Chain A
Amino acid sequence: MVAYESFTLKNKLKVIVHEDPNTSIAVMNILYDVGSRNESPEKTGFAHLFEHLMFGGSKNVKHYDRELQKAGGENNAFTSQDLTNYYLTLPSQNLETGFWLESDRMLSLSFDPEVLEVQRKVVIEEFKQRYLNQPYGDVWLNLYPLAYQVHPYRWPTIGEKIAHIEEATMDDVKDFFYTYYTPENAILVVAGNVKLENVRKLAEKWFEPIPNGKKVKSTWLQEPTQEEVRIKTVSAKVPQKAIYTTYKTIARNDANFYANDLVSDILGKGESSLLHHALVKEKGVFSTIGAYITGTLDPGLLSISGRINDKYSLDTAHKILNDELESIVTKNKITEKTLQKAKNQSQTQLAFSEVEVMNRAMNLAFYTLMGDTNYLNTESKKIESVTLEEVKTAIEQLINQKRSSTLLYDISSK
């Protein structure tokens, strides 16, 4: 049970406080309700580039990192398709430094052109390091646009191409800041060795004077129902052929999320999963196989991927995978025992994810964004209450070839 209190400032910034006296540190997590799904198709990768700029100086503080380090703090941030999340830890007696720094960059950035130039280069190197200079690194650059044709999930968070990062301007930066980095668009979680009343005082002191911008109701195109099988083949100098296939699934806050999540675990989590057992151990077609669901706020994907043993062609392996999925559905291969096993592993992971106070703070912020802070405390029950019937319905709906998009990854001889 993660206990918390919450309040809202006059500028509509939501604040959540989770006291944990067993630690000597304090953590702050600020989530901004903006991710790559908010980007325009001509300017992809911008939310993430912007995250880098948040460390390049704010109105009154030139060096965010340096000031935080002086107070004994450390920090990081990440951008996803749905959100941008900043987090820091400090010795709890120095908590106010976190308020000073975070409130100043919510107030205004310094918009230093040199910072943009340097971070542009850094992000391009990140793009190369993660997506271009790695075996199979470009999978999602290929697969997202296949699975999504209109929704902004069709490009990865890093951006569709390097050119978009090269073209970003300071006007874009300012627009983005004033549109999305407003108090009303943010969720602040303060946790650890902190006291509610003190956090309230600090929040009122540092954050309340920030004027609330206009809350922009951003909209984007929703993906229509997919009605055809999509397959794309690429080739690269990789050691093994591979298949990456996706099926359309539901959104993170759908009531059936956990049934779908458990289906993905049953199919492809670990060596006792159905696909691993059938296709790696029994048939020897794949050398690895795994599955998960993306869990995005708009309808997401079930991803199944595996590397293929040399003696099977891509097409044969693809057919064998599809047949296996089909037979799991039609032959009722999911039993009470299989389901209970997946639940048990889920519960253990959930318990471990609550060990670190920083994780608890992040989860509180995420569930607040989803609309129910207390979701965190009901997750375990939600997992436990999924029935075999629900799992069977979920898998029947999931495994529909007309909702599938597949990337066949071949070995190029070049």
Chain B
Amino acid sequence: MLDRISAPQTNFDIKLPFQLPQATKILSTSNFPFYVLNMGSQDVIRIEWIFENNPEFEKIKGITFFSFKMLLESIKNYTSFQLQEEIASLGAFIDIAIFDERTIITAHCMPKCALEISLLVSKMINEAMFLDSDFQLLKDRTIKNLEISLQKNSYLAQQKFKSQVFGENHPLGKNLIPADLINITIEDLIYFYNEQIVKTLSHCILSGKIEPSLAKEITNINFSSTFKDEKSTQLKIVASNLKPIETYFQKDSSVQTSIRLGCITIPRTHPDFHKLNVTNTVLGGYFGSRLMQNIREDKGYTYGISSSIVSHNGFSYFVIGSDVVKEKANDTIKEINYEIKRLAETSIDDEELQSVKNYLIGHFLNNINSPFSISDKNKFIAHLHLGPDYYNNYLMTLINIKKEDISEMTKKYLQVPLISVLVG
């Protein structure tokens, strides 16, 4: 008779020390660094160009965004339409993403067109035209997109939360509104382009099926004629508010309230970080978390609730987020505080802790399965200065963490004055 009651045997043998496959560093003749991770059986390649942002320039809000987006408009010998058509004809996709510390141009393509796409990106970086007609269209579109975002409670809550935590003048805390963007001129962008974009290209990362001969051809391209050294932006933070503040932005038309709750916390390089990360997972970092069980699976107040630790170079912030039944917003906050208190004061039982540890090991294995996810992990280590042992230390923590650690981490880092923002 088949036993359907007892769970089948499981095991979690991982070979330690864990070694993340490393990218090979190749320097061009002008010493520009390329990181090449040749992996995978599918005919796909991802190329990323990393630019380090200079937060000083963001005194004109939105200037980094617009200046970089203009690289996908007209460039020498190509109208913006011709450029888009050329990219598409190569069967490629190019995207420009602006983050707080850096901007990344990403190309997804097949190996057969990787060289041509790289040459095209080199032209985008070095031969952008910055036509006012392109810019006006881009500006109108961006302002409309922003207006749509500003109607979303979750967007507003996230933005207002970060303003409260970091201050409205901090790059992470600035509230962008349409009025900020209207007065930006093409001259602002051209100045930024000359002073910033062409000078801040830091390195290039290639991952996927990149044969050495192809890598060699791409690394021969001159992407930056002014390259000096690899940079890594570090944003400064001032000690945040230590008083718990709750701000409620009421919107009568809303049927749900978006909640954010959190604080600044320790950087990834801190010796407690991995333990805090596991603690956060118990609280709200996976489907079986305390918050999901309480707020969704027990009370049905929300479709989802989660907590996470977002890391920057030198610091992190902890944030809990959810969209809940409007009438239950305050009750949700109460329950969140109750769950943090419970995690601090009542010892987690062995089964739950084991379950979280196993889940995290499986989750880790699941995330080192493609050349792109491995490349992302390498990139993460480099950008946050985490050192080569980072993931091995993480796995060691998963194996060794004890239940006392969970309550200790909660007391030390989560049971602290939290800033809360409610919208809706």
Binding site for B on A (CB under 8 A): 22-25, 59-61, 65-67, 69-74, 89-91, 93-94, 96-97, 99-100, 103-104, 107, 117-123, 125-126, 128-129, 132-136, 205-206, 209, 237-240, 270-272, 277, 280-281, 284, 287-288, 307, 309, 337, 340-348, 351-352, 354-357
Contacts and interface: CB of A to CB of B under 8 A. Distances in A.
Contacts of A309: 140
B104 interface: no
27 contacts: A25-B362, A65-B287, A65-B288, A70-B355, A71-B7, A71-B8, A72-B359, A93-B13, A96-B8, A97-B8, A107-B4, A117-B300, A118-B297, A118-B299, A119-B300, A120-B300, A123-B303, A125-B303, A125-B324, A126-B303, A238-B148, A272-B87, A277-B81, A280-B137, A288-B141, A355-B40, A356-B370
B256 A271 contact: no
Nearest to A209: B2
B110 A351 contact: yes
Given A94-B10, A97-B8, A133-B323, A357 B365 contact: no
Contacts of B286: 69, 74
- In this complex, which of B147, B299, B366 has the most chain A Cβ atoms within 10 angstroms of its Cβ? B366
Interface string B198-233: 000000000000000000000000000000000000
Interface stretch (B41-49, B122-130, B186-194, B405-413): B41-49
B27 interface: no
A93 B11 contact: yes
Given A69-B286, A122-B296, A355-B44, A135 B11 contact: no
Contacts of B424: 133
A150 B84 CA distance: 41
B91 A125 contact: no
Contact of A100 (B7, B40, B81, B148): B7
Nearest to A414: B253
Contacts of B369: 23-25, 356-357
A60 B84 CA distance: 56
A326 B302 CA distance: 46
Contacts of A340: 89
B206 to A, nearest CB: 15
B152 interface: yes
B396 interface: no
A56 B89 CA distance: 48
Contact of B359 (A59, A74, A136, A288): A74
B108 A352 contact: yes
B325 to A, nearest CB: 6
A133 B81 contact: no
Contact of B148 (A97, A129, A135, A355): A135
Given A351-B44, A351-B110, A355-B44, A121 B365 contact: no
B227 to A, nearest CB: 30
Contacts of A128: 255-256
Given A209-B2, A240-B144, A93 B303 contact: no
B81 A281 contact: yes
Interface in B299-340: 299-303, 323-325
Interface of B: 2, 4-5, 7-13, 40-44, 72, 80-81, 84-85, 87-93, 108-110, 137, 140-141, 144, 147-148, 151-153, 253-256, 286-288, 296-303, 323-325, 351, 354-356, 358-359, 361-363, 365-366, 368-372, 424
A355 B373 CA distance: 11
Nearest to B208: A355
A379 B255 CA distance: 44
Contact of A73 (B92, B256, B362): B362
Nearest to B41: A22
A125 B301 contact: yes
A53 B361 CA distance: 27
Contacts of B356: 69
A73 B362 CA distance: 6
A24 B255 CA distance: 44
Given A93-B10, A280-B137, A352-B42, 18 more contacts: A24-B365, A24-B369, A25-B366, A69-B358, A69-B362, A70-B351, A74-B366, A91-B361, A97-B10, A118-B299, A133-B254, A133-B255, A237-B253, A238-B151, A239-B144, A345-B91, A348-B44, A351-B110
Contacts of A337: 89
Contacts of A281: 80-81, 137
Nearest to B370: A355
B90 A344 contact: yes
A99 B10 CA distance: 13
B8 A91 contact: no
A116 B85 CA distance: 51
A65 B293 CA distance: 11
A351 B208 CA distance: 12
Contacts of A356: 369-370
Nearest to B87: A272
A121 B300 contact: yes
A271 B108 CA distance: 16
Nearest to B361: A72
B300 A125 contact: yes
Given A125-B325, A287-B141, A240 B148 contact: yes
A271 B355 contact: no
Contacts of B141: 287-288
Contacts of B81: 271-272, 277, 281
B98 to A, nearest CB: 18
Nearest 8 A/B pairs, CB to CB: A72-B362, A121-B300, A344-B91, A239-B147, A272-B84, A96-B8, A69-B359, A126-B303
Contact of B12 (A91, A118, A284): A91
A213 B224 CA distance: 66
Contact of A122 (B89, B151, B303, B354): B303
A359 to B, nearest CB: 10
A66 to B, nearest CB: 6
A135 B251 CA distance: 14
B298 A118 contact: yes
A236 B110 CA distance: 43
A348 B40 CA distance: 15
B257 to A, nearest CB: 10
A59 B4 CA distance: 9
Contacts of B324: 125
A129 to B, nearest CB: 5
Nearest to B251: A133
Given A133-B254, A133-B256, A272-B87, A104 B362 contact: no
B300 A72 contact: no
Nearest to B147: A239
Contact of A344 (B88, B288, B359): B88
A338 B117 CA distance: 18
B323 A347 contact: no
Contacts of A97: 7-8, 10
Nearest to B351: A70
A104 to B, nearest CB: 6
A121 B301 contact: yes
Contacts of A99: 8
A119 B297 CA distance: 7
A89 B40 CA distance: 19
Contacts of A100: 4, 7-8
B9 to A, nearest CB: 8
A233 B277 CA distance: 49
A13 B420 CA distance: 50
A71 B255 CA distance: 38
- In this complex, which of A60, A237, A351 has the most chain B Cβ atoms within 10 angstroms of its Cβ? A351
Contacts of B363: 72, 74
Contacts of A238: 148, 151
